[in-house]
């Protein structure tokens, strides 16, 4: 910029010019930063309005959350007041932060010497995956507050769990089986319990844990704050809610339709013998970087993984026949993108929270239509969009129609795929629960052909 042979006058004006540029850059830097700081303050203002500890707000912001989700907006103030809560919402809505931030806030503000072998709060959840996911989130949100937390579930050694509970805990996350085991051996008591969260109550019912849950609840002190979350409200859960909640605030989040709207859904009509070929055809597209495949049986999942591995596609299966260590390894590798494909059964699929799943494939349709929502919801997490392709063979038509009726939408059939098969049977229109969306021209054509 400076010319060595220029006169002192020229050099001075060059210096002045350079200084001006520096001044302007500095002002622009300050301006941009003040804008950034203002933006940060504005964006976090809704979280700040909850009067949560500053460290919690910082942790939440580090997680990349800029504003509370609807369930968080409704639940957090109620829970901070100490009220009971009935939350009708499923995973994917930001439910974990909704119940855990007020608990962390409560114990972070009011630290006490916890009695040995007891816990100030208990979060009961049906699966190991959900339990470790909840624990991971709680540890992230409470970092720096020195809370004592532990997750306990079966399938792994119990001594480390017993040792952790021995000194007393602020937060215990547990699955029912292992918790009952620890209660029976006297390794945990609930004398100091202040807050109880029953998560995924309807899944507990579906998975046959209902008696265990009731047994655990009978051991809890009557004076406590209770939160019950369930995606649906079958009669058993309504009765349970009535029995264990005191004047609860009811919060209902219509997450199902929100999730569905963000997922680009389609159906491949196929001959059973073409399923594997259709799968490879889809996976040939490199855009699908992270693919979650659901199938019916453990055996089926392992066969698909073997076929994928033989074709040099990195894959692993996740089902109840695998040890906990294997399940966690598979999930971690899928999260870290070391695996491109994860093949899961419905039992293991509950609560899988992996960012950026580009595609969900229903290799087999779910038997329970409610699981269709759970499955496809894995790809449209936290407001992102995603793709879901369901394979249907001719015998699946009734099941497909039940699913369509339960979601209130006709799922478009992709006719332009190499293995498309026209079905002779007409789709069966069972009773419609919700208004069915008008199908697109392509869908309509496909449906007409199916008749």
DSSP state of 189: B
The closest of 231, 218, 289 to 91, measured between CA atoms, is 231
The 260-279 contact track toward ligand AMP, x by CB under 6 A, reads: --------------------
Query: Based on CB atoms, which residue is closest to ligand AMP, 255 or 279?
Result: 255
Query: Based on CB atoms, which residue is closest to ligand AMP, 295 or 373?
Result: 373
Site for ligand AMP in 284-303 (CB under 6 A): none
Query: Based on CB atoms, which residue is closest to ligand AMP, 91 or 230?
Result: 91
Query: Based on CB atoms, which residue is closest to ligand AMP, 97 or 308?
Result: 97
Residue 353 as a binder of ligand AMP (CB under 6 A): the answer is yes
Contacts of 25 (CB under 8 A, 6+ apart): none
Query: Based on CB atoms, which residue is closest to ligand AMP, 123 or 304?
Result: 123
Find tokens 């997490």 and name the residue. Answer: 381
- State the nearest-atom distance from the C-beta of 149 to ligand AMP, in Å: 16
Query: Based on CB atoms, which residue is closest to ligand AMP, 95 or 128?
Result: 95
- State the nearest-atom distance from the C-beta of 104 to ligand AMP, in Å: 14
The angle at the Cα of 408, spanning 406 to 376, to the nearest 5 degrees, equals 70
The closest of 144, 143, 124 to 134, measured between CA atoms, is 124
Query: Based on CB atoms, which residue is closest to ligand AMP, 200 or 206?
Result: 200
The 370-389 contact track toward ligand AMP, x by CB under 6 A, reads: -----------xx-------
Angle between helices 176-184 and 210-218 (to 10 degrees): 40
- State the nearest-atom distance from the C-beta of 130 to ligand AMP, in Å: 8
- State the nearest-atom distance from the C-beta of 71 to ligand AMP, in Å: 8
Say how many Å lie between the first and final Cα of the chain, rounded.
77
Residue 108 as a binder of ligand AMP (CB under 6 A): the answer is no
- State the nearest-atom distance from the C-beta of 339 to ligand AMP, in Å: 19
Strand partners, 344: 294, 318
Rounded Cα distance between 20 and 33, Å, is 20
Cβ atoms of 341 and 289 closer than 8 Å: no
Query: Based on CB atoms, which residue is closest to ligand AMP, 58 or 167?
Result: 58
- State the nearest-atom distance from the C-beta of 353 to ligand AMP, in Å: 5
269 CB burial (10 A radius; 0-12, 13-18, 19+): buried
437 three-state secondary structure: coil
- State the nearest-atom distance from the C-beta of 351 to ligand AMP, in Å: 7
Give the tokens for residue 115: 């009695």
248 CB neighbour count, 10 Å cutoff:
18
- State the nearest-atom distance from the C-beta of 255 to ligand AMP, in Å: 8
Cβ atoms of 338 and 314 closer than 8 Å: yes
Query: Based on CB atoms, which residue is closest to ligand AMP, 351 or 412?
Result: 351
Query: Based on CB atoms, which residue is closest to ligand AMP, 379 or 443?
Result: 379
The 57-96 contact track toward ligand AMP, x by CB under 6 A, reads: --------x--xx--x------------------xxxxxx
- State the nearest-atom distance from the C-beta of 447 to ligand AMP, in Å: 34
- State the nearest-atom distance from the C-beta of 91 to ligand AMP, in Å: 4
Q: How many alpha carbons fall within 13 Å on the CB side of residue 2?
A: 13
Reported residue count of the chain is 451
Cβ atoms of 153 and 324 closer than 8 Å: yes
Give the tokens for residue 232: 């649906």
Rounded Cα distance between 179 and 176, Å, is 5
The 19-58 contact track toward ligand AMP, x by CB under 6 A, reads: ----------------------------------------
Residue 97 as a binder of ligand AMP (CB under 6 A): the answer is yes
Q: What are phi and psi of 399, to 5 degrees?
A: -65, -40
Query: Based on CB atoms, which residue is closest to ligand AMP, 187 or 346?
Result: 346
- Calculate the dihedral angle through the C-alpha atoms of 23, 28, 33, 34, rounding to the nearest 10 degrees: 90
Residue 102 as a binder of ligand AMP (CB under 6 A): the answer is no
Query: Based on CB atoms, which residue is closest to ligand AMP, 151 or 305?
Result: 151
Starting at the edge strand found earlier in the chain, the sheet holding 359-362 runs 263-269, 386-392, 359-362, 291-294, 341-344, 315-318
Size of the site for ligand AMP (CB under 6 A): 14
- State the nearest-atom distance from the C-beta of 67 to ligand AMP, in Å: 6
- Calculate the dihedral angle through the C-alpha atoms of 50, 56, 57, 60, rounding to the nearest 10 degrees: -110
- State the nearest-atom distance from the C-beta of 249 to ligand AMP, in Å: 19
**Interface with ligand AMP by CB under 6 A: which residues?**
65, 68-69, 72, 91-97, 353, 381-382
């Amino acid at each position: 910029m400076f010319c060595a042979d220029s006169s002192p006058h020229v050099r001075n004006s060059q210096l002045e010019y350079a200084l001006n540029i520096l001044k302007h850059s500095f002002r622009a830097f300050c301006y941009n930063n003040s804008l950034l700081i203002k933006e940060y303050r504005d964006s976090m203002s809704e979280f700040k309005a909850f009067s949560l500890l500053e460290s919690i707000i910082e942790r939440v912001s580090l997680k990349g959350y800029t504003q509370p989700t609807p369930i968080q907006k409704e639940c957090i103030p109620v829970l901070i007041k100490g009220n009971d809560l009935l939350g009708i919402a499923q995973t994917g809505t930001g439910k974990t932060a909704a119940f855990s931030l007020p608990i962390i806030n409560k114990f972070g503000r009011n630290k006490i010497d916890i009695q040995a072998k007891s816990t100030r709060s208990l979060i009961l959840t049906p699966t190991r995956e959900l339990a470790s996911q909840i624990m991971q989130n709680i540890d992230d949100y409470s970092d720096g507050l020195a809370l004592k937390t532990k997750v306990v579930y079966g399938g792994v050694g119990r001594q480390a769990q017993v040792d952790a509970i021995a000194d007393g805990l602020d937060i215990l996350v547990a699955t029912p089986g292992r918790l009952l085991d620890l209660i029976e051996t006297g390794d945990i008591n609930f004398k100091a319990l202040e807050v109880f969260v029953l998560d995924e109550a309807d899944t507990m019912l579906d998975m046959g844990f209902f008696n265990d849950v009731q047994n655990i609840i009978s051991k809890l002190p009557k004076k406590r704050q209770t939160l019950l979350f369930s995606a649906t409200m079958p009669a058993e859960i309504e009765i349970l809610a009535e029995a264990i909640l005191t004047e609860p605030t009811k919060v209902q989040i219509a997450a199902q339709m929100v999730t569905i709207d963000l997922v680009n859904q389609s159906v491949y009509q196929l001959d059973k013998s073409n399923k594997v070929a259709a799968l490879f055809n889809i996976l040939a597209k490199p855009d699908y970087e992270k693919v979650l495949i659901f199938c019916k049986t453990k055996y089926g999942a392992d066969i698909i993984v073997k076929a994928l591995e033989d074709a040099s596609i990195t894959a692993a299966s996740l089902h109840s026949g695998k040890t906990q260590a294997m399940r966690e390894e598979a999930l971690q590798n899928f999260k870290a993108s070391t695996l491109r494909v994860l093949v899961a059964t419905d039992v293991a699929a509950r609560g899988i929270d992996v960012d950026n799943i580009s595609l969900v494939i229903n290799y087999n349709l779910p038997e329970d239509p409610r699981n269709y929502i759970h499955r496809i919801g894995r790809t449209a997490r936290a407001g992102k969009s995603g793709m879901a392709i369901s394979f249907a063979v001719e015998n699946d038509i009734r099941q497909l129609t039940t699913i369509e009726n339960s979601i209130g939408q006709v799922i478009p059939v992709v006719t332009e795929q190499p293995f498309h098969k026209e079905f002779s049977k007409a789709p069966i229109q069972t009773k419609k629960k919700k208004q069915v969306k008008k199908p697109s021209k392509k869908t309509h054509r496909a449906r007409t052909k199916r008749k």
